[in-house]
Structure 1
């Protein structure tokens, strides 16, 4: 029996949490020794003032220097080991979660858009930056503050009392700063993320913005949003800076206070002059983590929130799919009582679809706009999870199928062809390190080899922002080559001839005929009639239901001339 994917996600999160906690516990133990070694300098100064100066003993001074040098060398080594510990913690966490987060982010982008998936990647990077940074050590430094407090009490109880009161005041100011700024900071961050998402989304349509003069209106909207975000940040910054200045001033005043107390005790001959200098240094070291607690606590809160986002993404957004590859197969495609309703909607887009196709059959799907054709295409390739029912290829559920082996079986050409940053060779090979012969085979089958040869660098021509721009027809034909790369057993083509000229359509039909001869199941979704002559069967979708299904000639013969949704099919008969 296969283990549920949800439990695997829970185990993955639990392993990451345990690794972090164990690493943090090790770092805390190192911090205890490091904090004790930080007493080297004040204790050295205490001994120099009280022993060396009074006794004028050079031998004592040399001995103290040797002991201090050894202690500081150990401090340097342990501090470096602690830094390496954080680095290893971050590396292990990222290595363990990188692929699951990426997979879950891709899934989330299908249903929730690119912004959420991009945020998940940033969250994981923020967690790594937090772990390898200095902020993670702040609570550990504060945890071992009693070491310094105990030394101050040992020097004199008044030193300890002043230090205890000072630490309490600094801590209260830190908590007050967090209380006054946390909510405003959260609102500002949320507004900033929303603005970045909107701007990034709009920039993808820069050509339309420029052509239709939309920039002034969009600039006005962005400016208003930015001003609102800036106002929130200004409020937070003012409060934070004011309390930070107050905290720093209090720390200086407290160091003056401990020096004053020390001076009084020296005058009364209750302590030595060396203790006064040592207590001032120890006092500054004691208050340092509490002074950093404001920023440190905020960074901890943000890191915890980022971790929660990553856990939610892996646990909730990651597709519940099989993890073991399925052997390559060649069987029927069966759609069984397929129903799909978008998340949050009670009205299904597809309503109980059932049909089957055998290897080598070509199905054409037609129907009016909003009939559910593209939704059906996404369900056929396992991108979208059915509400009820299912799609099965040789008995295997296409949604649950492990994605790597499923990709070897399926090709897909969406309406909007998206080519990734990389070379044309990379795109056709689906970003794999593939045999060049397979790339050439797919390009020739899609009749795009000669067109690629006329590009500046042929198959090595790079695509992406700021590089070579292809026409819509060129992109569609390269997308077709990618879809049929590796001789898949199921190919779904959504509007494959939308940007093709007559020669391109002929090449497309030849590719479909070659796939049919190879035993591939091909599903065509198109409005233009010429491409439907390659179909063996036709399906007419209307309002999410199958109104006609069968051999192409039989379906065409039963179509009423007045049905607008099917008029294109009559033209292809």
Structure 2
């Protein structure tokens, strides 16, 4: 409950902050809503005057005058309603502009630690939901609701019975609205969850479609998708049935109430306690008094969705905006790993245990070990993508979390196992979409990665568009372009995770030359590898097994010990 209260309190802080930014817009909308609701009295007053003045007097001049005044007031009301709707649309944009950047930055930060989750994209969809609701007519109901007592008060002036009947109807509809919210809350949350599961499954299937086809899994994946789609449809229909039922009840209540007001007015006319004009004006006023409540009920599903989306947004965003970190000079002296211990994301299972490494400028460390030994986790930790459970990684004495992520990224080059290319040109991908790329640095990185000639042979050269995922390139081409991206700008620390998995002999030679170039300029390279050809340019080797350091030292000494252990294995077995 305490966490729920904290989220609720944070939600209201965000609402108040957004309201402060758009205070002028909201005040203008409130004023416009007040004028619109006052002008809504034009129709019943016009009707009252026609029945009680024009008809008895048979005065055409009076009718024309009243009609002219009513027309002008109707036009003013229409202009104000358009004005209000446009302001609310801009207020929705203001909220998105205020939160959009924070949400996207949080998406990138959390996606780096927990990749391939739908939490971040869902947050952006939630922001779209909130903005759409704020810009919709449904939101105007909350500005019209405070004016309902005005219409009820006017009806009380007509006759106390009329005012009492309309007030009772408004209270009944409000209670029905609260019951609607209570009854549909669970189905709304379940619908979002089930829809998210189906969307994540579709994204996975689309991403792995070639593999699924090659393995003959299309029929099975279709059946699994159908199961998720059926659950999604069942949840959506159940929620829709509830909404339809409560909507029908609200319409029935409103229709019965308006007819009852008409009948009550007629009864008062018969008893000569009201005029025919009062009867018709009260009927129109009752419809106007109940219109905001009716609009709120009709759009309660969108309101509930927007409210839940806002709550998820506040829970997704960090409770405090991260403060600006003190800028640090680019690292040039050392990389030191002390007692590094890391748990698998979302679990307490340790992947690395007490790893200690110290690297000096001009050195290169090769990291080897069986699958699942923690090599890739170690590489991710060096570039700030895996948060230590214990221990610390320091660049020039400063812990990684003391660096601004973008500043650290410029000082680090990283080539992951799963290579991602961005939709843009080859030059943009190599230069990391730098706003002002250095052409000389681009060519230097391409030549160091041995990809310059490869790029020139492609149609368009460096200006060729790769397309989403780099599907137009072979695996080897993507890996060498990614290597050029990793060493672009001469970063001090270059971390390469399985950099030769798709390389041929020529690519291996280019990789060794790139690592040697990093060492020659005083940088530090870390190469995670299975194939020995990737270790020709390193001077030290770290051997991991089950997340623990088995061997660490100069390359030749470690390789000699590994060879000796390999020769001893048959003897021990025998």
The residue that corresponds to 1:191 in the other structure is: 194
Q: What is the total number of aligned residue pairs between the two structures?
A: 558
With 497-506 and 330-339 compared, the bigger mean Cα shift is at: 330-339
Question: Within 5 Å, which residues of 2 pair with 1:299-378?
Answer: 299-315=302-318, 322-378=324-380
1:542 — aligned with what? Answer: 545
State the Cα deviation string for residues 380-436 of structure 1 (Å, max 9, x = none).
001121112211111222234112211211110001101122222221121232336
Match of 2:166 in 1: 163
With over 3 angstroms needed to count, the CA separation of the structure-2 counterparts of 1:11 and 1:482, relative to structure 1, is farther
**TM-aligned CA deviation for residue 156 of structure 1:** 1.7
Q: 2:451 aligns with which of 448, 452, 467?
A: 448
The one of 173, 180, 185 aligned to 1:177 = 180
Q: Paired residue for 2:572?
A: none
Alignment CA distance shift 1:184-1:306 (3 Å): closer
Change in 2 beyond 3 A, CA 1:302/1:387: same
SS in 1 for 2:551: strand
TM-score, scaled to structure 1: 0.90
| Structure-2 change in CA distance of 1:288 and 1:222 (3 Å) | same
Q: Secondary structure at the match of 1:433?
A: coil
Deviation at 1:500, TM superposition (A): 0.2
Conservation of the 8 A alpha-carbon contact between 1:338 and 1:390: yes
16 and 139 in structure 1: CA distance in 2 versus 1, 3 angstrom threshold: closer
Q: Aligned ranges for residues 136-535 of structure 1 at < 5 Å?
A: 136-315=139-318, 322-435=324-437, 437=439, 438-465=441-468, 469-535=472-538
- Which residue of the partner structure matches residue 110 of structure 2? 108
For 2:346 and 2:131, the matched residues in 1 are separated by 34
Aligned to 2:5: none
How much does 1:466 deviate? Answer: 9.3
Per-residue Cα deviation, 1:484-542 (whole angstroms, up to 9, x for no partner) = 11111111000000000001111111222222222221111111101211002111122
Supply the distance in 2 between the matched residues of 1:195 and 1:126 (Cα, whole angstroms).
19
Distance 1:358 1:117, change over 3 A: same
- Structure 1: gaps of 5 or more residues: 1-7, 567-573
Distance 1:439 1:109 in 2: 28
Residue 571 of structure 1: aligned partner: none
More displaced 10-residue stretch of structure 1: 487-496 or 383-392: 383-392
CA spacing shift, 1:365–1:221, aligned 2, 3 Å: same
1:89 paired residue among 88, 91, 108: 91
Q: Which moved more, 1:296-305 or 1:64-73?
A: 64-73
Contact kept, 8 Å, 2:258 with 2:286, in 1: the verdict is: yes
Question: What residue in structure 2 maps to residue 569 of structure 1?
Answer: none
Whole-angstrom distance in 2 between the partners of 1:49 and 1:325:
78
Q: CA–CA distance in 2 between the matches of 1:452 and 1:94? A: 40
Deviation at residue 134 of structure 1 after TM alignment: 1.6
Q: Distance in 2 between matches of 1:517 and 1:452?
A: 25
Deviation at 1:357, TM superposition (A): 1.2
Q: 2:32 aligns with which of 30, 33, 40?
A: 30
- Structure 2 CA distance for aligned equivalents of residues 44 and 274 of structure 1: 9
* Root mean square deviation of aligned Cα: 2.8
8 A contact 1:321–1:402 mirrored in 2: no
Question: Residue 42 of structure 2 contacts residue 70 of structure 2 at CA under 8 Å; is this kept in 1?
Answer: yes
Greater Cα offset, 195-204 or 522-531: 195-204
Tell me whether 556-565 or 250-259 shows the greater mean CA deviation: 556-565
In 2, the alpha carbon distance for the partners of 1:564 and 1:227 equals: 58
1:570 aligns to what?
Answer: none
- Alpha carbons of 1:289 and 1:14: their partners in 2 closer, same or farther (altered >3 Å)? closer
Sort the Cα spacing of 1:13 and 1:449 in 2 relative to 1 into closer, same or farther, 3 A.
farther
Q: Deviations over 1:256-303 (max 9, x none)?
A: 222222223233332222222222221111122222333433333322
- Give the aligned partner of residue 77 of structure 2: 75
- Cα deviation, 1:36-59, whole Å, max 9, x if unaligned, reads 121122212222332233334455
In the alignment, the residues of structure 2 paired with residue 221 and residue 296 of structure 1 have an alpha-carbon distance, to the nearest angstrom, of 34
Q: Which whole-Å CA distance do the structure 2 matches of 1:108 and 1:171 have between them?
A: 41
CA distance in 2, matches of 1:110, 1:228: 31
Q: Quote the Cα distance in structure 1 between the aligned partners of 2:550 and 2:421.
A: 35
- Of 450-459 and 465-474, the range deviating more from structure 2: 465-474
Separation in 1, partners of 2:223, 2:529:
40
Of 54-63 and 195-204, more deviation after overlay is shown by 54-63
Structure 2 partner of 1:3: none
Within 5 Å, which residues of 2 pair with 1:125-144? 125-144=128-147
In the alignment, the residues of structure 1 paired with residue 450 and residue 310 of structure 2 have an alpha-carbon distance, to the nearest angstrom, of: 48
Structure 2 alignment gaps of length 5 or more = 1-9, 570-574
Instruction: Answer yes or no: is the 8 Å Cα contact 2:335–2:395 preserved in 1.
Output: yes
Mapped to 2, the partners of 1:14 and 1:323 lie a distance apart of 27
Whether contact under 8 Å (2:11, 2:310) holds in the other structure is no
Q: Secondary structure at the match of 2:227?
A: helix
Helix, strand or coil: the match of 1:562? helix
Residues in 1 aligned to 2:304 and 2:567: alpha-carbon distance in whole angstroms = 59
Work out which of the residue numbers 41, 45, 48 in structure 1 matches 2:47: 45
Distance 2:385 2:321 in 1: 9
CA distance in 1, matches of 2:11, 2:136: 27
